């Protein structure tokens, strides 16, 4: 409530409110949750709950491109700092509703800082998204709010909107989508080529493996044939050499017998041996 009375009265603020007391015995403003209001003093209550400010700010880039920036800012008094709370209490005039006065002030700060930040950014920088603008905007807005004991609790800066007759963002968005779609087709084609190449290499590897296997079998067969032939030769040699030696011995003996007059016996022996 507002006003002064000639009698003393007791005032208690609601959970989300503070009392701002001025007048007799108070140099500036006294803040309290509950207090006795003395004769010659005035008391007003003010709400410290954060408020949502929904705006659609029209701004312009460094290249004179007009656009709209839809955003929702949640702003309220900084209740954890007595000095900031006192600054906020000074905003509340006796001749107007606090909410109306603060609303005009906050919206003016947001619109002004948005235009300043946007004017420093190119069209391409803006098109990359709201992240860069949002970061700088929140910093600048908070610096201004500090003068009035206000805190920026949260900000939801949405995508930029085109102003009629300047369809830069919608055109650039369509172009980006086309480029992305074409790039996706290229990636898909490259993936298919890689798959074909992979299968080709697998086929070559399989063919090479079959060739190596066939060559191995041929070599194995050749070694087996060579081994078998060598075995047969050894057997023949084992069977044939003794016979030859025996025949040679017989021939030698016959030659010796001829010299001794025993020719018939030797011939008979040789014939039998052969």
Give the CATH number of the domain where residue 94 resides.
Answer: 3.30.479.30
105 within domain boundaries: yes
Instruction: Determine the pLDDT at residue 36.
Output: 95
99 within domain boundaries: yes
How confident is the model over 117-142, as pLDDT tens digits?
Answer: 988 888 888 777 778 788 889 999 99
222's tokens: 């050749």
How confident is the model over 58-82, as pLDDT tens digits?
Answer: 888 888 888 888 899 999 999 999 9
Beta bridge partners, 18, equal: 46
Q: Does 152 share its domain with 65?
A: yes
How confident is the model over 212-231, as pLDDT tens digits?
Answer: 787 777 877 877 877 777 77
Residue 89 burial (10 A CB sphere; 0-12, 13-18, 19+):
buried
Q: Could you tell me which of 202, 228, 86 has the C-alpha nearest to residue 148?
A: 86
Q: How far apart are CA 8 and CA 26, in angstroms?
A: 15
Q: Does 56 share its domain with 157?
A: yes
Tell how strand 51-60 and strand 30-32 pair up.
unpaired
Angle, vertex CA 90, rays to CA 50 and CA 154, nearest 5: 20
**Coil, helix or strand at residue 175:** helix
Q: Which runs of consecutive H residues, i.e. helices, occur in the chain?
A: 82-91, 98-118, 123-127, 131-145, 168-258, 263-273
Q: Does 158 share its domain with 118?
A: yes
Residue with structure tokens 């000639």? 6
Among 25-39, 125-139, 241-255, the range of highest mean pLDDT: 25-39
Q: Does 75 share its domain with 122?
A: yes
182 within domain boundaries: no
Q: Could you tell me which of 133, 130, 152, 132 has the C-alpha nearest to residue 141?
A: 152
Q: How far apart are CA 106 and CA 155, in angstroms?
A: 13
Q: How far apart are CA 87 and CA 107, in angstroms?
A: 18
Instruction: Determine the pLDDT at residue 173.
Output: 47
9 versus 168: the higher-pLDDT residue is 9
Report the number of distinct structural domains present in the chain. 2
Chain length of the chain: 274
Instruction: Determine the pLDDT at residue 245.
Output: 64
Share of residues in the chain with pLDDT > 70 (%): 71
- Supply the range of the domain harboring residue 116: 51-166
Instruction: Determine the pLDDT at residue 194.
Output: 79
**Quick one: average pLDDT of 78-105?**
82
Q: Does 81 share its domain with 121?
A: yes
56 within domain boundaries: yes
Give the C-alpha distances (Å, rounded to integers) separating 254 from 24, 113, 269.
166, 137, 8
pLDDT confidence band for 207 (50 / 70 / 90) = confident
Q: Does 67 share its domain with 142?
A: yes
């Amino acid at each position: 409530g507002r006003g002064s009375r000639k009698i003393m009265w007791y005032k208690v603020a609601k959970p989300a409110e503070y009392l701002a007391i001025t007048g007799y015995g108070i140099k500036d403003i006294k803040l309290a949750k509950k207090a006795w209001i003395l004769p010659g003093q005035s008391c007003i209550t003010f709400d410290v709950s954060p408020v949502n400010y929904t705006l659609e700010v029209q701004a312009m880039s460094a290249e004179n491109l007009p656009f709209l920036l839809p955003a929702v800012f949640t702003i309220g008094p900084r209740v954890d700092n007595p000095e900031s709370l006192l600054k906020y209490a000074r905003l509340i005039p006796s001749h107007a509703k606090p909410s109306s006065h603060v609303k005009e002030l906050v919206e003016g700060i947001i619109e002004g800082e948005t235009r300043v930040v946007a004017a420093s950014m190119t069209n391409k920088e803006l098109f990359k998204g709201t992240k860069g603008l949002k970061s700088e905007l929140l910093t600048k807005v908070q610096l201004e709010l500090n003068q009035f004991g206000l805190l920026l609790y949260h900000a939801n800066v949405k995508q930029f909107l085109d102003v009629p007759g300047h369809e830069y963002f919608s055109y650039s968005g369509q172009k980006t989508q086309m480029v992305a779609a074409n790039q996706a087709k290229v990636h898909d084609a490259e993936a298919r080529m890689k798959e074909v190449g992979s299968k080709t290499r697998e086929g070559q590897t399989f063919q090479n493996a079959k060739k190596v296997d066939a060559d191995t079998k041929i070599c194995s067969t050749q070694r087996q044939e060579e081994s078998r032939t060598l075995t047969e030769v050894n057997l023949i040699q084992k069977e044939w050499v003794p016979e030859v030696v025996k025949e040679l011995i017989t021939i030698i003996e016959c030659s010796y017998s001829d010299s001794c007059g025993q020719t018939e016996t030797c011939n008979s022996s040789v014939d039998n041996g052969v």
